[in-house]
Amino acid sequence: MEPFEYVRATTSKEALSVSARGDSQFIAGGTEVLNWMRIGIERPSKLIDINRLEGMSSIEATPSGGLRIGALNRLNDVAQHEIVVRDYPVLSQSILKAASAQIRNLATIGGNPLQRVRCPYYRADEPTPCNKRNPGSGCSAVNGFNEKHAIFGWTTDCVAVQPSDPAVSLAALDAAYVAQSPRGVRRIPARDFHVLPSENPSAHHRLHSDELIVAVELSRPWKQSAYLKIRERESYEYATVSVAVALDLDGDVVKQARIALGSVAMRPWRLLETEQRMVGQRVGSQQIEAAVQSGFKDARALSSNGYKIVIARNAVMRTIEQAARAA
């Protein structure tokens, strides 16, 4: 780990001002940025502690009937919050499936979606060809170890997947990340926050270097929702495949549906055609099964991960049923 300067900011203006003056990283929970520095992926000259910034630790209902979650809220606090548990169970469940309880007590809702890919070539102690770590060097995983890698949206320049669990549920909930910079505030849709390799194989997300996530905003409750995480072991493991489903039902007939897959692409992957075809169909019907099948027509397996397509398709069916049974 390289030497760095530690700065404790007390206002967002101060934090953004310090960030603008040189190579730096914000730190809140530190569960990711310290890993990047240890491995040598990042070598910031400054770490800017944002834990004391005001106005970023509240969870409040919005006038439009949604919810605003300050970015500094710890994951466990969000997962156990009364409104989240009642109105957004898919978010609560996805958080509780993320990492260990100890890490969730430190990690923040604003920092978690900024996780880097878990590709072993990207995180190797000895650097190997990886466009995300060394742009232009190639992708070792495309013809290497790729059992856990993408089945949607990949190119030969990068086949990695985004590992965040909360990011998947936030994409399904049509949430937005609220980002602040010296230029003002903008809202970035959660479903489009992460960057596909066809756009830029070296990029992870759309947050600019002078921006700070200050909140996450949810537009409306989705009480009938559920999250399923398929992993090799139950304790502290990243997903092989995960699914977030949110439903608006009239009896057992679908009025609206939102479905996002995790660990299948470089961003949470919305099954938009499936969502559209489910409208007006009864949960458990053959029409729902056909709608789910249609969402996988663009899935492409790599040399060692064809099994993920089958698992993901079955997981979507199972999660739809779970969401439909939610109180």
Protein fold of 224-325: Enolase-like; domain 1 (3.30.390)
Q: Which two tokens stand for residue 175?
A: 């949430």
Please check whether residue 100 is in contact with residue 235, taking contact to mean a CB–CB distance below 8 angstroms: yes
- pLDDT of res. 20: 81
By the 10 Å C-beta count (0-12 exposed, 13-18 middle, 19+ buried), 123 is classed as: middle
Name the residue among 47, 75, 55 with its Cα closest to residue 12: 55
Buried b (16+ CB within 10 A) or exposed e, 243-272: bbbbbbbeeeebeebbbbbbbbbbbbbbbe
Q: What is the per-residue DSSP string for 26-53?
A: EESS-TTHHHHHHHTS---SEEEE-TT-
Q: What is the C-alpha separation between 152 and 180, in angstroms, rounded?
A: 31
Does domain 59-114+164-218 sit in CATH 3.30.420.240? no
- pLDDT of res. 40: 86
- pLDDT of res. 233: 83
Name the residue among 79, 60, 80 with its Cα closest to residue 70: 60
Contacts of 174 (CB under 8 A, 6+ apart): 189, 190, 191, 218, 219, 258
Q: Helices 165-172 and 89-96, interaxial angle, to 10°?
A: 170
Q: Which two tokens stand for residue 128?
A: 């190997």
- For the chain, what are the domain ranges? 1-53, 59-114+164-218, 224-325
Q: What is the C-alpha separation between 44 and 37, in angstroms, rounded?
A: 8
Q: How far is CA 317 from the centre of its chain?
A: 21
- Provide the pairing of β-strand 212-218 with 224-230: unpaired
- Provide the pairing of β-strand 46-49 with 5-8: parallel
By the 10 Å C-beta count (0-12 exposed, 13-18 middle, 19+ buried), 241 is classed as: buried
- pLDDT of res. 126: 84
Domain covering 1-53 in this structure, CATH number:
3.30.43.10
Please check whether residue 197 is in contact with residue 165, taking contact to mean a CB–CB distance below 8 angstroms: no
| pLDDT tens digit at each of 327 positions of the chain | 788 899 999 999 899 988 887 788 999 998 888 888 888 888 888 999 999 998 899 999 999 999 999 999 999 999 999 999 999 999 999 999 998 999 999 999 999 999 999 999 999 988 899 999 999 999 999 999 999 999 999 999 999 999 999 999 999 999 999 999 999 999 999 999 999 999 999 999 999 988 999 999 999 999 999 999 999 887 778 999 999 999 999 999 999 999 999 999 999 999 999 999 999 999 999 999 999 999 999 999 999 999 999 999 999 999 999 999 996
- pLDDT of res. 134: 95
